[in-house]
Amino acid sequence: MKITLKDGSVKEYAQPMSILDIAKDLSEGLARVACVGEVDGEKRDLRTVIDHDCTLNICTAKDEAGLATLRHTASHVMAQAVKRLFPSAKLAIGPSIADGFYYDIDFEEPISAEDTEKIEAEMKKIIKENLPLERFELPRAEAIALMQEKEEPYKVELIQDLPEDAVISFYKQGEFTDLCAGPHLMSTKEVGKAYKITSIAGAYWRGNEHNKMLTRIYATAFAKKDELEAYITMMEEAKKRDHRKLGKELKLFMMSDYGPGFPFFLPNGMVLRNTLMEYWREIHYRNDYVEISTPIMLNRSLWETSGHWDHYKENMYTTVIDDNDFAIKPMNCPGSILVYQNEPRSYRDLPLRYAECGLVHRHEKSGELHGLMRVRCFTQDDAHIFITPEQIRDEVTRIAALINQVYELFGFRYHVELSTRPEDSMGSDEDWAAAEEGLKQALEAIGLPYVINEGDGAFYGPKIDFHLVDAIGRTWQCGTIQLDFQLPQRFELEYTGADGMKHRPIMIHRVCFGSVERFIGILIEHFAGAFPTWLAPVQVKVLPISEKFMDYAKAVTEKLLDAGVRAELDTQDQKIGYKIRSAQMQKIPYMLVVGQKEQEDGLVAVRSRAKGDEGQKSLEGFIADICEEIASRRIDAGEEK
């Protein structure tokens, strides 16, 4: 048999070989660190015997598949530890996730932080026992009987959802057996020493709020301890930067029990938001977009035509007006289509670029709400662009350049994914193939590296997703470019071509910030609340040393305001040290201290968040400097030292 390896080389074997034996044949070092094999793209345990020609990629913990396998095995070790310590606990599911793994468990009594320490200690014992993980399969009826015998009702329910003729796989390690498709490491010892329980939360069984609330134990695992330590450091930094905490401290936004998932922006937050939107409008006008506004609520028949009613109904809020069903918009695109249809269009009008910062509402489960990151209403910085087929490459190139310009301004690195047709999609195979090929050609023409994200496109078309990397290395999916052949067909959109005939336009859906609220949350955490001067809600705080210099401080504040600088006067009856600390806590970029000498000479003593004491300057000189900094939208002055 011929085994084609990842590098394209081919190995031939006369008899069937396990993946582990092939790894040993290639390199003893590879065999020691191998976690899983990918056989023709399918993940398989290292014990899997290959008896046919195939492609094979042997993954280590440096690879995504290998690390996921290590973490999935660690989740079984954690579940075994739980069952040893809490025999009456009932296990639900325990997958690996992007930054670790979790297990949902039904405990008789709530567990505490002390309990998680005991679980970690028991995990250490299980790993040291070096228990082999053994895979076996049972018919559905026998699988149900096994889980009933072990009193695992959640596992029974999962098996009952499978077809009658299904063959069910399990993994056994020592006395512990778990329902699982795999793959896994060869033994518990291979999990290693770099693991940690990170938090405990509640999670409804199967994500349904009508089901029982289970305990979700989050944890993570790495191949090496230094990788775990780096992750823990990042998580500690993330806690300091949590936008919910900083949003409250800096008085940017609030939440209310009267509207869960519906954020309130406070005065400081509105300054930040409006400044951000001024920049958004500036770059869009400069790139030949026209801004529109469409209604927040439209008739059900529109959403049926668009396909949202069939594909998105459960996430939509509805009401009845004059005996007709209406839906609050979850997306802006149908409104842009109605604007396009408002008058006849010619090929000379295209590309036609509509920009809309529209407020949309989507139902999110209460357990999934998270500050500004996951809300039920948000402003989508949409653009809907109507083009001819010949304009795809140039327009996608133009959009990518605009998105790149925005992300570079804020200091974001990013990577790009091309998301292809999902299972729940509409349209013909031919249209989808043409749309996906159009985006591929545009990306290749730009020279923008990308990876394929199979099956994650929108239901109406493929998309290019931009994933930002923030100051501490986390990624966020924000910008997107979606190519849509379907909605123009469903709404029978037309334009008159150069040949005088009617033609169908192509529609591009595009966001840059994504959700404005979420983008603000990302910015709060990216800058740790220490916004660059041009974005800061308060750019300068004027601090009189005592009451007798208040009149001069007021005059300084007025001159700053007249120059367009967002300035505030500190009127507290406190010592100057207290006022400085207060301004530092508010993360204000500049403080101007004024006393006897400053008043006599028309000066200000400048303290900056970035550099500390910068000495005395003339007020006119300081105003000139800060106005230039604001106009240039520099980000370096906003960095904390």
What is the set of active-site residues? Answer: 333, 362, 380, 382, 384, 463, 509
> Distance (Å, rounded) from C-alpha 23 to C-alpha 180?
25
Residue with tokens 């290019």: 464
Strands 352-361, 377-387: pairing kind: antiparallel
Half-sphere exposure of 318 (CA within 13 A, CB side): 17
> Distance (Å, rounded) from C-alpha 416 to C-alpha 17?
38
Measuring CA to CA, how many Å separate 364 from each of 315, 379, 412? Answer: 7, 15, 28
- Cis geometry, peptide bond prior to residue 334 (ω within 30 degrees of 0): no
> Distance (Å, rounded) from C-alpha 288 to C-alpha 620?
37
Edge-first strand listing for the sheet containing 167-173: 134-139, 167-173, 176-179
The three-state secondary structure class of 308 is helix
Contact call for residues 85 and 122 (beta carbons, < 8 A): yes
Residues 6+ apart with CB under 8 A from 438: 389, 392, 393, 396, 483
Residue with tokens 């939360």: 201
> Distance (Å, rounded) from C-alpha 354 to C-alpha 341?
13
- Cis geometry, peptide bond prior to residue 351 (ω within 30 degrees of 0): yes
Instruction: Please spell the DSSP secondary structure of 407-420, one letter per residue.
Output: HHHTT-EEEEEEE-
Per-residue DSSP letter, 310: H
Per-residue DSSP letter, 132: B
Instruction: Please spell the DSSP secondary structure of 42-106, one letter per residue.
Output: EEE-TTPEE-S-EEEEEEETTSHHHHHHHHHHHHHHHHHHHHHH-TT-EE----EETTEEEEEEE
Strands 54-60, 2-5: pairing kind: parallel
Strands 540-544, 590-594: pairing kind: parallel
End-to-end Cα spacing for the chain? 61
